[in-house]
């Protein structure tokens, strides 16, 4: 590789990287450099965040709601697909093929197409306008990826590992807890990460299922901030909101980047 | 394995059938059912039942509040609604433009970052980072950039002497702005998929092509693109499905104004503004039907390309 080509690569690469990071940097900047500058004040400060904290039932409530929804989604996705993945990989049970096919069929049915009947159904089982109900729905849409990931994680473990555990006196049940879980931990982290990002960022489902303003998640609350107020939009508070909702995703991604990319290259992904 | 029996205390209440002691195989079957049941319950209650319910609802007059009553195929007249037809046309246009633009940009980025060399990891991460920001947050972020009051984008345009641009002011402007935003948000995501595809091509094939005197252009058309076809098809499936179901971007950027309502926005309108869930269900059934056809056709394409 010639020196000129290397330089060209780095110039193109840095220019594109800056172009892609610029909108995020602008949001970060305008969230801490807002109205006070227009009023002739010092310019820097957290007053945009302060106004956002006072909006509606309060930023704290919206954050907590979002944490609850994402938490339910992650726990339910991880637990059900770990147990289900183990069952499908190692425990032959009646109907295992049917369950696998029906779960994969969720991929063929984009979630926005069944939101209307889900809305009715959640009403019937008393989970309408409920953060737990929303979390369960979001977990359900993560099942195909999670199941695929966990089933292949268990299949990748050597059978001898489980046999050794059985000979040492484990039942198939306790072998899972004592021996196998450690081996599939990377898969569990990947499934949890995908589930977290999807649930944290979801917009349409909470928009439809949550009718009580005090239960709004961050994306819906911010949408209301943008569209709800008459007259002028508080752009700076809005950008503070964008930072608040994007930052956890960026941090979690940077910490677990390796797992995310592995989830990608395993060939099982969902747009 | 199957011959190994495990000693366990005899169950006094229920003697095992035919005098056979429970084997590990049967214990595993029961355990399998037990472990799979939480997932099966979730799939049946939140997926299978709503799917059936949706078809049932589409044949009923089903107001948001109040009792429902059968009304045959009347709801399917929603498919002839001018608002819906306009939304279909707009969605198709948006899907076509997005898929081409996003595909080309992502492919260019993938070519740039496919080789492992010093510094490339930083570029990959920077280009991918927008993909972890939620689509609603992205739309709100760009709403700040596209507005006419306090946008740095407009200051830049004015500084360049191009006057002022109303980024969301007309259907075409809104379409272009949304495509730009979606490209920013998803290019890194598709870049990563395409990069994986590029890296899986055997380097020996490139060497052989070069030894045969092929130039870079010929290598691209004769080696890279044919071998990348399955990956390209996958990104196309994702992009087509994603854009056909576009909601967040137009709902937030324009509120569906000046004919920028997408198909899913029109379903939302039927259900929660017109409060007619039956018509919304009928439209959903139709969308699902079309998407399954599209996906099926593309899967065949991928499989053929795999051979």
Indicate whether A201 belongs to any domain: yes
Question: Both A34 and A85 in a single domain?
Answer: no
Question: Both A10 and A125 in a single domain?
Answer: no
Q: For residue B249, give how far its alpha carbon lies from the nearest alpha carbon of chain A (Å).
A: 11
Question: Both A179 and A109 in a single domain?
Answer: yes
At the second CATH level, the architecture of B74-306 is Orthogonal Bundle (1.10)
ipTM field: 0.90
Instruction: Categorize the per-residue pLDDT at B307 as very low, low, confident or very high, splitting at 50, 70 and 90.
Output: low
Would you say B154 and B165 are in contact if contact means Cβ atoms under 8 Å apart?
Answer: yes
Whether the pLDDT of residue A103 is over 90: the answer is yes
Give the least confident one: A30-39, A188-197, B68-77, B196-205.
Answer: A30-39
Q: How is residue B215 written in tokens? A: 């130039």
State the DSSP code for B71: -
Question: Both A75 and A41 in a single domain?
Answer: no
Half-sphere exposure for A78 (CA within 13 Å, toward CB): 20
Q: What is the pLDDT of residues B131-142, one digit of tens each?
A: 999 999 999 999
Indicate whether A50 belongs to any domain: no
Partner B contacted by A131 (CB < 8 A): no
CA distance A264 to B102: 19
Would you say A41 and B155 are in contact if contact means Cβ atoms under 8 Å apart?
Answer: no
Find the mean pLDDT for residues B11-25: 54
Sign of CA dihedral B182, B186, B188, B193: negative
Question: Both A184 and A119 in a single domain?
Answer: yes
List the domain boundaries for chain B. Answer: 74-306
* Pick from A250, A73, A135: nearest CA to B137: A250
Q: What residues of chain A lie within 8 A of the CB of B1, using their CB?
A: 163
Question: Both A133 and A33 in a single domain?
Answer: no
Q: How is residue A22 written in tokens? A: 């610029």
Q: For tokens 């056809």, what's the residue?
A: B293
Domain extent at residue A11: 2-45
pLDDT reported for residue A125: 93
Whether the pLDDT of residue B22 is over 90: the answer is no
Question: Both A30 and A156 in a single domain?
Answer: no
Indicate whether A52 belongs to any domain: no
Instruction: Categorize the per-residue pLDDT at B16 as very low, low, confident or very high, splitting at 50, 70 and 90.
Output: very low
State the DSSP code for B78: G
Question: Both A31 and A133 in a single domain?
Answer: no
**Total count of domains within chain A:** 2
pLDDT reported for residue B248: 94
CB contact residues (below 8 A), chain B span 131-190, against chain A: 132-137, 140-145, 147, 149-150, 152, 184, 187-188
Q: For tokens 């940077």, what's the residue?
A: A254
Q: How is residue A43 written in tokens? A: 């310019």
Q: What is the pLDDT of residues A243-266, one digit of tens each?
A: 999 999 999 999 988 887 777 666
Q: What is the pLDDT of residues B151-185, one digit of tens each?
A: 788 888 888 877 778 888 888 999 999 999 999 99
Question: Both A65 and A191 in a single domain?
Answer: yes
CA distance A80 to A87: 10
Question: Both A196 and A138 in a single domain?
Answer: yes
Find the mean pLDDT for residues A142-156: 92
Q: For residue A153, give how far its alpha carbon lies from the nearest alpha carbon of chain B (Å).
A: 16
CA distance A75 to A99: 21
> How far, in whole angstroms, is CA B107 from its chain's centroid?
18
pLDDT reported for residue B299: 74
Give alpha helix (H) positions in chain A.
3-32, 35-38, 47-53, 59-90, 96-108, 115-124, 131-156, 159-167, 172-175, 181-183, 185-201, 204-209, 218-228, 235-265
Give alpha helix (H) positions in A2-95.
3-32, 35-38, 47-53, 59-90
Would you say B109 and B187 are in contact if contact means Cβ atoms under 8 Å apart?
Answer: yes
> How far, in whole angstroms, is CA A170 from its chain's centroid?
35
- As beta bridge partners, residue B276 has B63
Question: Both A21 and A148 in a single domain?
Answer: no
Indicate whether A103 belongs to any domain: yes
CA distance A139 to B46: 10
Which of B140, B283, B286 has the most A C-beta neighbours within 10 Å, making it the best mutation to test the interface with A? B140
Question: Both A133 and A28 in a single domain?
Answer: no
Angle separating helix axes A3-32 and B120-128, nearest 10 degrees: 40
Indicate whether A193 belongs to any domain: yes
Burial A168-183 (b: 16+ CB within 10 A, else e): eebebeebbeebbeee
Partner B contacted by A79 (CB < 8 A): yes
CATH number at residue A163: 1.10.3720.10
Which residues, including other chains, have CB under 8 Å from residue A163's CB and lie 6 or more apart? B1
Q: What residues of chain B lie within 8 A of the CB of A172, using their CB?
A: 24, 27-28, 31
Q: How is residue A87 written in tokens? A: 């069952």
Would you say B41 and A100 are in contact if contact means Cβ atoms under 8 Å apart?
Answer: no
- 3-state SS, residue B63: strand
Q: What is the pLDDT of residues B207-254, one digit of tens each?
A: 999 999 999 999 999 999 999 988 888 888 889 888 999 999 999 999
């Amino acid at each position: 590789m010639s020196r000129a080509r290397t330089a060209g690569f780095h110039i193109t690469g840095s220019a594109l990287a800056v172009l892609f990071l610029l909108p995020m940097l602008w949001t970060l900047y305008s969230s801490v450099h807002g109205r006070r500058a227009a009023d002739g004040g010092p310019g820097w400060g957290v007053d945009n965040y302060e106004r956002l904290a006072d909006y509606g039932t309060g930023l704290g409530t919206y954050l907590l709601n979002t944490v609850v929804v994402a938490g339910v989604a992650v726990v339910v996705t991880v637990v059900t697909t770990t147990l289900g993945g183990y069952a499908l990989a190692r425990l032959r049970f009646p109907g295992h093929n049917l369950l696998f096919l029906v779960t994969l069929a969720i991929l063929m049915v984009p979630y926005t197409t069944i939101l209307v009947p889900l809305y009715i159904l959640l009403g019937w089982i008393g989970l309408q306008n409920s953060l737990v109900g929303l979390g369960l729905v979001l977990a359900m849409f993560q099942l195909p990826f999670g199941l695929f990931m966990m089933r292949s994680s268990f299949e990748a473990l050597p059978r001898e590992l489980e046999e050794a555990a059985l000979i040492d006196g484990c039942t198939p049940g306790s072998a899972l807890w004592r021996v196998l879980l450690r081996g599939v931990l990377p898969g569990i982290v990947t499934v949890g990460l995908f589930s977290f990002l999807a649930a944290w960022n979801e917009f349409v489902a909470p928009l439809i299922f949550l009718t009580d303003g005090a239960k709004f998640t961050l994306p819906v609350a911010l949408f209301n901030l943008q569209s709800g107020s008459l007259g002028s939009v508080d752009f700076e508070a809005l950008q503070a909101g964008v930072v608040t909702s994007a930052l956890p995703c960026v941090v979690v991604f940077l910490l677990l980047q390796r797992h995310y990319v592995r989830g990608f290259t395993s060939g099982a992904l969902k747009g | 394995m199957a011959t190994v029996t495990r000693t366990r205390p005899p169950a006094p209440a229920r003697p095992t059938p035919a005098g056979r002691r429970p084997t590990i195989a049967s214990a595993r079957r029961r355990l399998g059912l037990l472990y799979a049941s939480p997932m099966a319950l979730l799939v049946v209650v939140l997926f299978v039942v709503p799917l059936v319910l949706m078809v049932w609802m589409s044949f009923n007059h089903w107001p948001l509040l109040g009792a429902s009553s059968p009304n045959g195929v009347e709801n399917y007249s929603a498919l002839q609604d001018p608002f819906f037809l306009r939304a279909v046309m707009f969605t198709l246009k948006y899907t076509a433009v997005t898929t081409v633009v996003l595909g080309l940009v992502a492919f260019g980025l993938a070519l740039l970052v496919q080789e492992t060399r010093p510094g490339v990891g930083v570029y990959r991460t920077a280009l991918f980072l927008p993909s972890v920001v939620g689509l609603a947050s992205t739309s709100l972020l760009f709403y700040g950039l596209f507005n006419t009051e306090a946008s740095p984008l407009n200051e830049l345009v004015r500084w360049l002497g191009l006057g002022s641009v109303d980024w969301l002011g007309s259907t075409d402007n809104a379409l272009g702005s949304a495509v730009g935003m979606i490209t920013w948000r998803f290019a890194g995501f598709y870049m990563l998929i395409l990069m994986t595809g590029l890296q899986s091509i055997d380097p020996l094939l490139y060497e052989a092509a070069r030894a045969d005197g092929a130039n870079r252009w010929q290598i691209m058309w004769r080696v890279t693109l044919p071998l990348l076809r399955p990956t390209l098809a996958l990104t196309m499936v994702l992009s087509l499905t994603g854009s056909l179901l576009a909601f967040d971007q137009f709902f937030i950027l324009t509120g569906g104004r000046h004919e920028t309502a997408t198909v899913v926005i029109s379903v939302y309108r039927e259900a929660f503004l017109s409060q007619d869930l039956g018509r919304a269900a009928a439209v959903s059934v139709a969308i699902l039907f079309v998407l399954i056809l599209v996906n099926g056709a593309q899967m065949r394409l991928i499989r053929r390309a795999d051979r």
